[in-house]
Amino acid sequence: MSRQQSNQRSDIYCRITNTIIADLERGVRPWTKPWTTGHATAEVSRPLRHNGQPYSGINVLLLWS
């Protein structure tokens, strides 16, 4: 890797780090997403089996994925 490529890469890291720090100073937590169910007609719930009983455990995560 050339010195110029190394400098460009560290510059990108610095810009991203500075952006995150600026967001934190403004009170924004960039790692959280503002997901809400305000636009949905019902609450987000667990997937249901054919008999109406909700799935549990890892099955919920697998079905959501």
pLDDT in tens, 7-37: 667 789 999 999 989 988 998 776 766 566 5
| Average model confidence (pLDDT) across the chain | 77
**4 DSSP β-pair partners:** none
Helix, strand, coil distribution of the chain in percent, nearest 5: 45, 5, 50
Say which residues have a Cβ less than 8 Å from residue 65's Cβ, sequence separation at least 6: none
Task: Report pLDDT for 25.
Answer: 92
Confidence (pTM): 0.38
Average pLDDT over residues 35-57: 74
Task: Report pLDDT for 5.
Answer: 61
The residue to which tokens 């100073």 are assigned: 25
Q: How confident is the model at residue 55 (pLDDT cuts 50, 70, 90)?
A: confident
CA distance 25 to 19: 10
Q: In terms of residues, how long is the chain?
A: 65
